[in-house]
């Protein structure tokens, strides 16, 4: 029976789920459990997942060393998304008088950083179970956890509890981002490398791939941040600004984000099987996530002023 914090259903049924890289290393370092890897027992030919029902072959095949397209659709989606986000960063920078400009720009930068990490952790450029892949996956986990804090912090800044762009806003913003990044990084490394017995101890039973702390940081924490963010922005737009049009942007962004998760978890295996392990749902998830970020930018632009010549938005 699946329990809270079990990653096994995700690692066997969801292609290109990056956090499975951590549990792959956990099983490799635990004697007597490597049989649980099944068809992915050879690190040199294994894709992302733990005995996955369908997976995309590594980008480079070692015997002989011939190139493979790997998760090519997601590589392209991440590259296009990166250019899109860089453009959004530029446009945000130009809106000198907009409330939360610096904080939103930081959110976009963190999202941009997550894209190349996603390519590496889902594309199997590195051998499964290798220390390099584990470390990069842990960094990716830290960036994702910090990203959702950044999203939540942008909503807090929008309430003008503290003045945006000042030390009173930026110091807590970056401090908590670093702390959350460090926490997710530590938990990920501990699960994979087993530094401590409390967190890094093998799952019981091993096939459960259980880590409650990692599940909370990478699944529950993002969900909580998203819910609070949209709750705060709905309050600001509807109750303080008395506007309805910007709310359509936020609803659309939420809808796109939900679709991205459904594409990843529900379409992934279907597309992988139908395409003979050529593509999965990760590229659709990436496109929809980036679209959600773009719509959030439009929502932010719709409730802020561009130049100092106009009245700035200061909800009170």
pTM: 0.92
pLDDT tens across 50-71, in order? Answer: 888 998 988 765 554 555 678 8
Residue 1 covered by a domain? no
Residue 152 covered by a domain? yes
- The predicted pLDDT at position 60 comes to 62
Contact 50, 23 (CB under 8 A): yes
Q: How many domains does the chain have?
A: 1
Percent of the chain with pLDDT over 70: 90
Residue 206 covered by a domain? yes
Residue 65 forms beta bridges with which residues? 62
- The predicted pLDDT at position 309 comes to 47
- Structure-token pair, residue 243: 């506007």
Residue 261 covered by a domain? yes
Q: Which domain holds residue 43?
A: 8-302
pLDDT tens across 262-295, in order? Answer: 999 999 999 999 999 899 999 999 999 999 999 9
Band (33; pLDDT cuts 50, 70, 90): low
- The predicted pLDDT at position 132 comes to 94
Q: Tell me the CATH number at 146.
A: 1.20.1070.10
Residue 2 covered by a domain? no
Phi, psi (rounded to 5 degrees) for 65: -75, 80
Could you write out the three-class secondary structure of the chain?
Answer: CCCCCECHHHHHHCCCCCCHHHHHHHHHHCCCCHHHHHHHCCCCCCCCCCCCCCCCCCCEEECCEEECCCCHHHHHHHHHHHHHHHHHHHHHHHCCCCCCHHHHHHHHHHHHHHHHHHHHHHHCCCCCCCHHHHHHHHHHHHHHHHHHHHHHHHHHHHCCCCCCCCHHHHHHHHHHHHHHHHHHHHHHHHHHHCCCHHHHCCCCCHHHCECHHHHHHHHHHHHHHHHHHHHHHHHHHHHHCCCCHHHHHHHHHHHHHHHHHHHHHHHHHHHHHHCCCCCCCHHHHHHHHHHHHHHHHHHHHHCCCCCCCCCCCCCC
For residue 139, pLDDT beyond 80:
yes
């Amino acid at each position: 029976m699946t329990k809270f914090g079990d990653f096994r259903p995700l690692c066997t049924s969801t292609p290109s789920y990056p956090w499975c890289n951590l549990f792959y290393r956990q099983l490799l370092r635990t004697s007597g459990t490597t049989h649980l890897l099944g068809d992915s027992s050879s690190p040199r030919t294994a894709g992302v997942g733990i005995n996955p029902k369908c997976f995309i072959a590594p980008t480079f095949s070692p015997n002989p060393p011939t190139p493979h397209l790997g998760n090519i659709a997601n590589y392209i989606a991440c590259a296009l998304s990166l250019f899109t986000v860089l453009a959004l960063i530029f446009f945000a920078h130009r809106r000198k008088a907009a409330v939360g400009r610096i904080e939103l720009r930081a959110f976009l930068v963190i999202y941009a950083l997550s894209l190349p990490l996603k390519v590496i952790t889902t594309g199997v450029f590195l051998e499964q179970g290798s220390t390099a892949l584990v470390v990069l996956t842990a960094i990716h986990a830290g960036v994702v956890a910090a990203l959702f804090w950044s999203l939540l912090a942008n909503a807090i800044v929008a309430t003008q509890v503290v003045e945006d762009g000042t030390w009173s806003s930026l110091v807590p913003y970056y401090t908590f981002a670093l702390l959350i990044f460090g926490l997710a990084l530590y938990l990920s490394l501990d699960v994979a490398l087993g530094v401590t017995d409390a967190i890094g101890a093998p799952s019981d039973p091993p096939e459960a791939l259980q880590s409650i702390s990692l599940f909370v940081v990478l699944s529950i924490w993002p969900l909580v941040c998203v819910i609070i963010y949209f709750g705060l922005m709905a309050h600001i737009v509807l109750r303080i600004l008395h506007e309805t049009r910007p709310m359509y942007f936020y609803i659309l962004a939420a809808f796109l984000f939900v679709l991205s998760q459904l594409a990843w978890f529900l379409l992934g295996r279907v597309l992988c099987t139908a395409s003979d392990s050529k593509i999965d749902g990760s590229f659709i998830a990436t496109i929809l996530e980036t679209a959600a970020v773009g719509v959030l930018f439009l929502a932010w632009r719709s409730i802020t002023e561009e130049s100092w010549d106009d009245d700035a938005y200061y909800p009170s």
